[in-house]
Structure formats: structure tokens, C-alpha cells
Amino acid sequence: MLGVLSHPRLIYDWFTTTLLRWSADGLVIYERWVVNSDGFHEWTGSGGEVLLDFYYLCYLIAFIGVLVIFTHYRRTGWLKIKPHVPYDTLLLAMIGVLVGAKTAYIFIYNPDFYFGPPPYGPVDTADQLRRIFLNWSGMASHGAAAGVLTMAFLWRLRAGKKLPIAQIGDLGAIASAFGAAWIRLANFMNAELYGRVAPDWLPWAMRFPVRSGKGNKVLYLNGELYERMSPPADTAQFESWLATLKQANPDGVIQQGGAVFYKNPDAYHQSYELMSRTAEGVQYHQTNDHSQIFIGFQEVVTTPRHPSQLYQLILEGVLVFIFLLWLRRRVKRAGMVAAGFFIAYPIARFIGEFFRQPDVQFESEGNALGTVFFGLSMGQVLSLIMVCVGIGMLVYFRARGRVIADEPMYPPSKDSEKASSKSKKNQPLSVPFEKGMGGSTGAGSIAGLSDVRAALAEKEKEWDKDAGIQREVEGSETSPSEEKTDEPDTNEEAESDEPERSD
């Protein structure tokens, strides 16, 4: 091995991704200090509810990115929506992502933790509800995509055809790629979802702490693997839960102080090493080296692995984000960027899964890697389904998607609705074009709107000549010089006069 790195969680005792925690001792900051009525001092306690960790923080940054991206493209005129619509989008995106990602994780990846019997399942209904609504450690990205699609469908049903849902989805796709990069960074900081065994020549191979399929820390004692369990906080629940543990494995429960260790019943096939802390620093030992004598619990770490979280950060986040920005500047119809995301993201995920260790809960005797279908991981199977959805979206929006440059302001003002209703009575119709529709935004050059405008102007002259009348728009006569005016009539439309900003 040319060089092996260690995840900071292994090296530094103080390293943690929990930023804020509320415990019986008070408000805990970074798992090192506590603030209470006695002041600010070192924290030596344990337990409590997590208020904010790096994972939650990255979700927050991703959602802020949604608001920034939508506001930016609204101001440039590419997306003609009023100022409040980005906030509506953010709210629905948050609901879709959080509910969809959590629901998919519960029913696809870890149903036993939420609905199974103890010791891994909930003790009672109160414990079950706490796991579902307060334990946000398990999230599935494919579920997040499904949740966002569901919210978009419901929004479209409620708002009607005038809602530019496809174009909103285009920017939502760009925001999703931005968020994916941050979530993968959080996975790395949490030392979770690490990669498969790395070859000896890989200089950036890295060791990670080993966890069970239920997320518990794995320790080693006298040749056996144990999980450090997370007992219920309620005393009555704890006694019932502990009795269930001992019933399931009478000789496999160890209590040390307030900690409970449970002999791991799963067949762990992944390679691992043991870590010990000495005066000389951290040392790693092969588990087959029987010359070593270990006293007490030893920390279990992986053999050198691919830091697949960083690979996926680049593939699913950075590269997909850049691709979607490039695609946005070249498409003519709304919905094409969203379709591009539903194709590009799962392809990137599919590739990244070849370097990522499949989920432990799918391992079984004879299936050491934990694949689920013809040698593919669960993530790859879901990615293939997502690609099929993306291809369907691509075919649909390419044929029936609305031209981006023709999209009107949403929601329309009452004056514009009245004008539209009145203009229907004054045939033939003159179509107004604002500068934001093909002027300073550049959307016209993308959609070929300049040619359409010229052809329509010539056609309207023929209509006027045949009718022998001077055209009326909104009840007032329009002179030829006024027909050439491209100035918008409202303050909302005037926002689209800004020059397009670089991406």
C-alpha cells in the first residue's frame, strides 16, 4: 500500500459531526462543551437528543441553494415567476425531499428497525414514533426524487395549467445536483457509506469505523464482534428492551456502566482490522494475527477502502451540476433539464456504486457483498428504474414541452387576465413580446423566437390588409410605431430586462 489515510473519526477522540445536542446536563456543543446554569465547561456526560449535526447542516445548505438558484434565474428573466414563488417551491421541495427520502429508507433499506421486534425493532409505539420522526439518520436519495415528483404533481393539480411546473422542475434538478454534493460530503464526515476494498496501489485508500446494519458501532472482545446498542431513554422501556436482548441471546449481552453491548448475530463478511491507542499513537492490527493480546473491547475498523463518498460527491454532485447548467443554456423546451437530471444522476450513481460497499443489511450467507439482483446493489437497481423514468420524461418534454421563451409571467396579474380575455374578442390577435422573452435573457436565441417574431409581424400585416381595419389591443388603437415597442407594461415584467448573468 503506497499510503493509507484514516478517517478523522478514528484518529481524534474529539472528532464528531454532532454540532448541537440537548442533554440532561444542558446544551452540548460539538460533543465537547456544555452550556447550562453553571456556565460553559467541558462535557463528560452522554446521551441526549441531537439538535444539529453536520448531516442536518448540509441539508440546510442544500435547501438554501434551492432558494438562491430560483431567485437568481427569476431575476435574470429566464424563469418568469413573481418573487413569492421561489419560497413556495422551497417549502414543497423540503416536504418532498424529507418525507420521500425517509419513507424510502424505512420501507426499502431498514424496515426491521422501525417495524420489527426488539432488540433491533422498537419497544413500543412511543419508541416507534420516536424512531420515525426524530431519527433522521436514514435517508434515501431515490426516495427524495420520488417525493419531489409527487409534490410537483400535486402542485400542478392545485395550480392548474398556467403553473410552469416543468420549467420549475428544471431549476429544481439543478438545485438537486447542488444538494447531492453537500449530502455526500456529510456522508464522508459521518464516516458512513464508505467504499469497497481498495487495491494496494491506491494512495488515498482510507480506513473507516465499522458499524452494523442497524448503525451501531462494532467492537471486538475475545474473538467476538459486539454492537454498542442505543438503549431507550425511558427507564420502563429500558428494562423491557434489556430483557428482550437477553432472551434473544442469553450469553451475548454485556453491561458496562451505562453502556450495553450485544453480541452481533450477523455474518459480517467485510474485511476489518482492530485499532488500539497506545502512547506511540494509533495502531492497526490484522484480525488473523493471533500473536497480539488484546485486553477489553477493541475498536473495529475497515481495511483500506475507497473513499466512495468523495467519488460520489464529484460524480453525482459536481459533474451532474455542471452538465445541467450546460444543458439549460441549450434546450428550447421546459422539462428537458429535469429529464436530463433523471438520466444523468442515476448513471453517475450506478458508476459510483461499483466503488461503494453495498448496504450491510443485504449481506447473507453466500452473498458476502450484499447485492440484490444479478450482482447489482440496491442503489444500482433503483438507478436503473430512475433512468427509465428519465427517458420517459425526455421523450414527453421533447415532443410536448412548452417553449421556454413563450412562458408568460406566473402567477398572471388580474390586468393581464382581463386583457387576455378581451383580446379573444378582437380577432385576429396580436401577440405581445416582452424583452424578457428572447431579449436580454438569451432565451429567444435558444428557442429561435426571433424568427417567429419576424414571421408573425409579416403575417399580421396581411391580416390587417385583408380585414381593412386597424388592430385593437386592450381597447385602444395601436399605431405601427407602437407595435414595434418591446417595453414591458408592468414592474414584474420589467425585471426581465436585466442582462443575463453567467452561471
Range of the domain at 248: 207-303
Grid coordinates 458501532 are at which residue?
A: 217
Any domain includes 392: yes
Give the C-alpha distances (Å, rounded to integers) separating 97 from 90, 151, 179, 268: 10, 9, 11, 32
Name which residue leads in pLDDT, 236 or 34.
34
**What pLDDT sits at residue 166?**
93
Burial (0-12, 13-18, 19+ Cβ within 10 Å), 43: buried
Mean pLDDT of 331-342: 95
Looking at this protein, which amino acid is placed at residue 210? V
Whether the predicted pLDDT of 2 surpasses 70: no
pLDDT at 438 over 50: no
Cis-peptide into 411, omega within 30 deg: yes
Last residue of a domain, one of 286, 303, 320: 303
Contact of 14 with 33, CB cutoff 8 Å:
no
- Helix, strand or coil for residue 376? strand
Range with top average pLDDT, 90-99, 275-284, 428-437: 90-99
Of 71-85, 207-221, 392-406, 442-456, where does mean pLDDT reach its minimum?
Answer: 442-456
**pLDDT for position 480:** 46
**Which of 383-389's residues contact partners 24+ apart within 8 Å by CB, and which partners?**
383/142, 383/346, 383/347, 383/349, 383/350, 383/353, 384/346, 384/350, 385/142, 386/142, 386/145, 386/342, 386/345, 386/346, 387/342, 387/343, 387/346, 387/347, 387/350, 389/342
Question: 180-234: per-residue pLDDT in tens?
Answer: 999 999 999 989 889 999 998 999 999 999 887 777 888 888 878 888 887 776 7
The reply to whether 496 falls in a domain is no
| pLDDT at 21 exceeding the cut of 80 | yes
Choose one of 254, 269, 303: the last residue of a domain: 303
| pLDDT exceeds cutoff 60 at 369 | yes
- pLDDT category at 139 given cuts 50, 70, 90 is confident
329 and 189, same structural domain? yes
Do residues 236 and 269 share a domain? yes
Is 243 part of a structural domain of the chain?
yes
Q: Above 70 in pLDDT, residue 248?
A: yes
In the chain, % of residues over pLDDT 90: 37
Residues 278-329: tens digit of each pLDDT: 777 888 888 766 556 677 788 899 999 999 999 999 999 999 999 999 999 9
Between residues 244 and 449, which one has the greater pLDDT? Answer: 244
Cell numbers standing for residue 115: 417495524
Q: Are residues 177 and 71 in the same domain?
A: yes
- Provide CB contacts within 8 A for 372, sequence distance 6+: 358, 362, 378, 381
Per-residue model confidence (pLDDT) at position 476: 45
Instruction: State whether 159 and 260 are in the same domain.
Output: no
Residues in contact with 447: Cβ distance below 8 Å, sequence separation at least 6, in sequence order: 332, 403, 404, 405, 406, 438
d(CA 301, CA 284) in angstroms, rounded, equals 8
Tally Cβ neighbours within 10 Å of residue 479: 9
**Domain match, 271 and 399 both:** no
Look at residue 409 and tell me if it is in a domain.
no
Q: 439 lies in a domain?
A: no
Predicted confidence at residue 267, as pLDDT, reads 44
Considering its fold, how many domains does the chain have in total?
3
Residue 500 in this model has a pLDDT that exceeds 70: no
The predicted structure's pLDDT at residue 451? 61
CB atoms within 10 A of CB 269: 14
Q: In what order do the strands lie in the sheet with 281-286?
A: 253-256, 259-263, 224-228, 217-221, 298-302, 272-278, 281-286
Q: What are 356's strand-pairing partners?
A: 195
Higher pLDDT, 145 or 289: 145
Q: Which residues pair with 226 in a beta bridge?
A: 219, 263
Q: Are 115 and 128 in contact (CB under 8 A)?
A: yes
- What confidence score (pLDDT) does residue 95 get? 93
Do 98 and 112 lie in one domain? The reply is yes
Q: What average pLDDT does this structure show over 341-361?
A: 90
Contact 177, 316 (CB under 8 A): yes
Indicate whether 323 and 268 sit together in one domain: no
Are 172 and 217 part of one and the same domain?
Answer: no
Which of 11-25, 38-52, 156-170, 416-430 is predicted with the least confidence, judged by mean pLDDT?
Answer: 416-430
In angstroms, rounded to a whole number, what is the distance separating the alpha carbons of residues 92 and 75? Answer: 21
Confidence of residue 461 (pLDDT cuts 50, 70, 90): confident
- Higher pLDDT pick, 54 / 456: 54
- The span from the CA of 152 to the CA of 169, in Å, is 8
Can you tell me the distance from the alpha carbon of 288 to that of 430, in angstroms, rounded to the nearest whole number?
Answer: 83
Q: Name the band, by pLDDT with cuts 50, 70 and 90, for residue 490.
A: very low
296 plus 315 within the same structural domain: no
Query: Which pLDDT belongs to residue 445?
Result: 44
CA distance 414 to 418: 6
| Three-class SS state of 122 | coil
Residues 96 and 113 in one domain: yes
389 pLDDT higher than 50: yes
Question: CA geometry: angle at 172 spanning 167 and 174, to 5°?
Answer: 105
**472 located within any domain:** no
Residue 74 and residue 186 share a domain = yes
In a domain, 349, yes or no: yes
163, 274: one domain: no
Mean pLDDT calculated for residue range 129-144: 79
Asked whether residue 457 is domain-assigned, the answer is no
For the chain, counts of helices (H) and of strands (E):
17, 16
Arithmetic mean of pLDDT, 361-369: 66
Residue with the larger pLDDT of the pair 119 and 92: 92
DSSP class of residue 300 equals: E
